[in-house]
Amino acid sequence: SSELTQDPAVSVALGQTVRITCQGDSLRSYYASWYQQKPGQAPVLVIYGKNNRPSGIPDRFSGSSSGNTASLTITGAQAEDEADYYCNSRDSSGNPQFGGGTKLTVL
């Protein structure tokens, strides 16, 4: 079982704002990173560190953290944002770990 916990599914109306969360004790000490995965494709990094977006990632994606919870916020969700989203952090040994994933549906 994953030490990072995500809601299995979240939905959002087109153009609205959605927050996808990731909970785990390691998040009190380390930042989360977030990945988007569309069907049949490899994951894509969308947020890393405190709130950094790789080149090419729209600025409607943002990250935040409070206590043991990290959040990925999509402000003004688009149809193309429908995908699975995974959080990732490091554990105390310095190794990576993934959350179980959240399926985002854009209505």
What are the Cα distances from residue 95, in Å, to 22, 41, 50, 79, 102? Answer: 17, 24, 18, 34, 22
**38, 44, 48, 54 alpha-carbon torsion, rounded to 10°:** -120
Question: Closest Cα partner for 59 from 41, 82, 87, 78?
Answer: 78
Nearest distance from C-beta of residue 37 to other proteins, angstroms:
8
**Which span (9-17, 73-81, 86-94) binds other proteins, by CB under 8 A?**
86-94
C-alpha 47: how far from its chain's center? 7
Nearest distance from C-beta of residue 19 to other proteins, angstroms:
19
Please give the residues from 51 up to 80 whose contact with other proteins meets the rule CB under 8 A: 54
CB closer to other proteins, 10 vs 45: 45
Nearest distance from C-beta of residue 53 to other proteins, angstroms:
12
Residues that bind other proteins in the complex, under the rule CB under 8 A: 2, 29-31, 33, 35, 37, 42-45, 48-49, 54, 84, 86, 88-90, 93-101
